[in-house]
Structure 1
Amino acid sequence: MTPVLRGLAVNPALPPELLGRLIAIADEDIAVDLAEREDLTRAQAVALASRTEYSVARLAERRLLTGDDINPVTQPLAALALLVEGAGRPAWARLLASDPIVDHREKLAACPNLPSEVQEILAADTDIRVVAELALQATPDMAARLAEHPHAEVRRAVADNEATPPAVLAALITGEGLPPARRCLVCDREETPFTHDPHCPRPDCDLPPDAACDGSHESTVYRTHLRVLWNPATPAAAVLGFVDHPSMLLRWPLAVRPDLPTAIYECLAGSSEPGVRAALAENPAIDDDLIRVLAADPVADVQRALARNPRVPLEVLSGLAGTARIGSALLPRIAAASRVEIENLAASPNPALRMLLAERRDLPPEIRDALAADPDAKVVKSIAPHPALSEAQLRAMIDRHGVRVVARVAKNPDASPALLEELTRHRPPVQKALREVARHRNATAPALLACLSDWQARPIAAGHPALPPQVIVELLAYDEWRVVEAAAANPSLPPVVMSKLVP
């Protein structure tokens, strides 16, 4: 019954009395779905929160619960969920700061705007996980203090915090002005020197595969440097020394930063790892000369990343479109093209470039219509979902290009019910088209019945409100849970049937 009940939990047509019955029997999975319902009253939200605390976070986020609805002693997770949303009470934070359950204190440390006295208690917690969680989002002053914490894991968390002062982030790289860390998670548990076996056979071991400590806490220091490098608050001057670091993971963050000297980007372009070069290629801070260097990169992933760069010149993009198999997504540079550039792109002899242009949905009508009549199927596939196309244009596309464009025509939001029915009968059949028809707002009962023949379209069609009620009821007994859940969620499921399904 679980798929049925989960489907009913999200069914927008579920009668109020059945919603109450469903709340009364909700388990964790059903409660999570019920918490998303738009028709939940505050009384129902309180009842749901009393069933299971796993739905409380969402109910709190939706402001369906208040401090009057929660007892922090008996519902600590609920109290924490409200504190996360800023809807809890300061007294709760003081109470939970001394909770004997570490997970609760750790969740508390993740809450924003904690009273200063609660932050002080958490900063002195005996469990390093609590202090590290606090460090992740501490205020600048507290982050600066925790950067001097004797445990390296806390310093690693400080490195991740964007509120950490830039000078402190730089010090986490150099160590200047900070006392040496005395402990790390590795030497807390193992005698040093220790290097973790990446294929560790111990089932209860949760150390990272690269964990190592010879007294210098090297694996934690490495991860600290990594987080500092990814932190956008870190001063550019502090990261320059990593440009030729042997670790790709430490060079990668430099490739995406927008504030480094050109010489650094040029050095990164010579990295042997395609991942670093691809990250660099997508960076809008690189200049035209470097863009052209990367356009000649032998690795297709680098070229595709360059195509996503919003500053890539159109002439460079034209070359990439012909060789890099970019796909049909709307690229930032195409989206920003001016009217003159649009006209030039539409007249390009390169069909791959016209295909990229056809992904825009704000084209001038005459250009849109010209692309709809394009002789190249790739271009037509890109323009086919455009909502301003007429039915005559959509039918002409199918007449010219057949199976190559059927699925994309089915994706057009204005495709008529008659056209959608015809697409489900197309020979040879196009399975992907059935999936598009199954989710289309204009799909009719005959079209949806045809979609039930495809295993991927079936669960989509089972939830479509145009499906005949008797068919929806039959699908409740299907042997595939996705289909059953979708049928139970279908708003056209008769209320009398819903009533029989809820215990």
Structure 2
Amino acid sequence: MYALLRGLAANPALPSRLLDRLVALADDELAGVLAGRDDLGRARALTLARRVGEAAVPLVHEGWLAAADVDPTEWPEAALALLERGTAPEAWTRTFAGDPDPARRERLAACPGLAADVMERLARDPDPEVVAELASWAPAGTAARLAAHPHLSVRRAVAGNETTPPAVLASLLAGEGLPPARRCRVCAVEGTASAPVLLPGERCGGDHESAVGHLREAVLRHPATPAQVAARFAHDPAPMLRWAVAGRADLPREACVRLAADPLPLVRAALAENPALDDDLVRSLAADPDPEMRRAVARHPRVPLDVLVPLARSTALGGSLLPRIATASADETEALASSGEPAARRLVALRRDLPAPVRERLADDPDAKVAAAVAPHPGLSAARLRAMFVRHGRQVATGVAANPDAPGPLVEELARHEPPVRRALREIARHPAATPRALLACLSDARARPLAARHPALPPTALAALLADEDEDVREAAAANPTLPPAEMAKLLPDP
């Protein structure tokens, strides 16, 4: 029953009188769904918030409640949500800065536009998590001061702050010019009721070794950390620090050469995507025997095409458009599309901004993988899509079904293919041109079934049957279908 109510709460065609009934019986979960409706209105939102206090937060997020509607003492979480949106009175920030609940002070520390006196108070907060939240975005001066905080969680937050000055980052990395840190989250902290929940591998033997490692990793990933300072860690014994250095786009060549010979594939793979690499190093890494390494090279934004095409031939690169292909010039695009190498044609067929002549030539390609890659491209005619399906069958069915220009009759033909193409059915179930017969075929697939249940073209008799489906996701989707008759919607609600 509850799945049906969730579906009704999301149904855009729900009549006003039934919406009022749902508001009157809502709990916190239903209230969250109702908050997302376009037609809820302020009056219903207030009713909902008074009925279900937890609903005030999603109602704020959806814009139904404003500061004038919220009493911070009654709905503190909603008041904080308004502060996070920057639409609450400044006086509220001073109230929450002294709240006894550290979780609320931490949320306040993340709010934009805090006054200087509020930031100063939060910077002195006894809870390091509150200070760390402030340190993660505070202005440069505050961030620089918090770099000397005795707790390493705060220092790590400073290391992630984009305003932190380079000199401060260098000090954090070297541990020079700052007082020694006295605490980390692994340490036993006086006054705590229980030990913190530790992540795998976290430890502190008195030197805060895990926390120091995480701090250094954060500093090394910061783009403002001086490149020469970061490059020194290309030789560090800690693999995670070498991994962090390998991703920096400002590395000097000697550091790149050192990391290209790193014994760990994780480090070499991070380097392989680095735009700092020159062609010689890219070519060297492309010969790596590890397939993950070769895939990483393929994602390099400037990998030479004469390197990329052989990689595509010998390595499974997935179905995502590669950065180098996305930025290929018109001449390069034409050359790839005209190549005698199917792997080259498939690479460029994944673009969705191809000139019409190139797009159509690839759609007529004799290689099924090339045709499948271009099949979802908008602008292909119904005749060309049908010819592609006749030529390659199930190998292109999913791509054709994903094409927004595929007409209803073709979509229906795809749905009736034997044996069924499961992935194609899932695309058909959400296709705007799907016919009733096509959607009925989609009901045979467990993952396509809830998608079809929500489709407005599903026949009414099938929709009614799905309201009693054994799968609650299907029941919910059917109840959310805008073609469900109002009389049927009313039957799904408990008696008033």
Which TM-score band (shorter chain)? over 0.9
Task: Establish whether residue 451 from structure 1 lines up as the match of residue 451 from structure 2.
Answer: no
The aligned residue for residue 288 of structure 2 is 297
SS in 2 for 1:188: coil
1-structure distance, mates of 2:47, 2:252: 58
Pairwise CA distance, 1:189:
4.2
Task: Read off the aligned partner of 1:266 and give its amino acid letter.
Answer: V
Pairwise CA distance, 1:204:
6.7
Q: 1:24-78: CA deviations, max 9, x gaps?
A: 3332322222222223323333333444455545543443322101111111100
Q: Pick closer, same or farther for the CA change 1:301–1:105 going to 2, 3 Å.
A: same
Task: Establish whether residue 328 from structure 1 lines up as the match of residue 319 from structure 2.
Answer: yes
Ranges in structure 1 where 5+ consecutive residues have no aligned partner: 191-202
2-structure distance, mates of 1:41, 1:300: 55
The aligned residue for residue 198 of structure 1 is none
Pairwise CA distance, 1:440:
0.7
Q: How many residues align?
A: 491
Of 439, 451, 454, which residue of structure 2 is paired with 1:460?
451
Of 265, 272, 279, which residue of structure 2 is paired with 1:288?
279
Pairwise CA distance, 1:448:
0.7
The equivalences for 1:1-150 within 5 A come to 1-52=1-52, 54-150=54-150
The aligned residue for residue 153 of structure 1 is 153
Q: Is the 8 A contact 2:228 2:252 kept in 1?
A: no
The CA RMSD measured in Å over matched residues stands at 2.0
2-structure distance, mates of 1:241, 1:59: 51
SS in 2 for 1:429: coil
2-structure distance, mates of 1:490, 1:428: 29
2-structure distance, mates of 1:3, 1:405: 36
Pairwise CA distance, 1:460:
0.9
The aligned residue for residue 393 of structure 1 is 384
Q: Pick closer, same or farther for the CA change 1:379–1:113 going to 2, 3 Å.
A: same
Q: Is the 8 A contact 1:465 1:492 kept in 2?
A: yes
The aligned residue for residue 393 of structure 2 is 402
The aligned residue for residue 162 of structure 2 is 162
SS in 1 for 2:373: helix
SS in 2 for 1:382: helix
Pick which of 93-102 and 360-369 moved more: 360-369
Q: Pick closer, same or farther for the CA change 1:206–1:338 going to 2, 3 Å.
A: same
Q: Is the 8 A contact 1:53 1:77 kept in 2?
A: no
Q: Pick closer, same or farther for the CA change 1:54–1:271 going to 2, 3 Å.
A: farther
1-structure distance, mates of 2:185, 2:416: 63
Pick which of 296-305 and 493-502 moved more: 493-502
2-structure distance, mates of 1:6, 1:363: 42
Task: Read off the aligned partner of 1:165 and give its amino acid letter.
Answer: P
Task: Read off the aligned partner of 1:225 and give its amino acid letter.
Answer: R
2-structure distance, mates of 1:269, 1:204: 41
Pairwise CA distance, 1:358:
1.2
Q: Is the 8 A contact 2:463 2:478 kept in 1?
A: yes
Q: Is the 8 A contact 1:56 1:81 kept in 2?
A: no
The aligned residue for residue 304 of structure 2 is 313
SS in 1 for 2:18: helix
Q: 1:406-447: CA deviations, max 9, x gaps?
A: 222222211111111112222232222221211111011111
Q: Pick closer, same or farther for the CA change 1:49–1:281 going to 2, 3 Å.
A: farther
1-structure distance, mates of 2:44, 2:253: 59
Q: 1:232-262: CA deviations, max 9, x gaps?
A: 2322233122111122211112222111111
Q: Pick closer, same or farther for the CA change 1:150–1:363 going to 2, 3 Å.
A: closer
Pick which of 216-225 and 448-457 moved more: 216-225
Of 202, 210, 213, which residue of structure 2 is paired with 1:222?
213
Q: 1:179-231: CA deviations, max 9, x gaps?
A: 112222333349xxxxxxxxxxxx97513333333332222211111111222
Q: Pick closer, same or farther for the CA change 1:57–1:246 going to 2, 3 Å.
A: farther
Of 337, 356, 365, which residue of structure 1 is paired with 2:347?
356
SS in 2 for 1:222: helix
2-structure distance, mates of 1:462, 1:21: 24
Q: Is the 8 A contact 1:329 1:356 kept in 2?
A: no
2-structure distance, mates of 1:376, 1:244: 47
Pick which of 24-33 and 379-388 moved more: 24-33
Task: Read off the aligned partner of 1:188 and give its amino acid letter.
Answer: A
Q: Is the 8 A contact 1:49 1:78 kept in 2?
A: no
Q: 1:317-361: CA deviations, max 9, x gaps?
A: 111111111123222222222222122111211101101111122
Q: Pick closer, same or farther for the CA change 1:189–1:449 going to 2, 3 Å.
A: same
SS in 1 for 2:119: helix
The aligned residue for residue 277 of structure 1 is 268
Q: Pick closer, same or farther for the CA change 1:425–1:215 going to 2, 3 Å.
A: closer
The aligned residue for residue 240 of structure 1 is 231
Task: Read off the aligned partner of 1:281 and give its amino acid letter.
Answer: A
Task: Read off the aligned partner of 1:108 and give its amino acid letter.
Answer: L
Task: Read off the aligned partner of 2:25 and give its amino acid letter.
Answer: I
Pairwise CA distance, 1:153:
2.3
Q: Pick closer, same or farther for the CA change 1:179–1:291 going to 2, 3 Å.
A: same
Pick which of 37-46 and 104-113 moved more: 37-46
Q: Is the 8 A contact 2:231 2:252 kept in 1?
A: no
Pairwise CA distance, 1:395:
1.9
Pick which of 53-62 and 247-256 moved more: 53-62
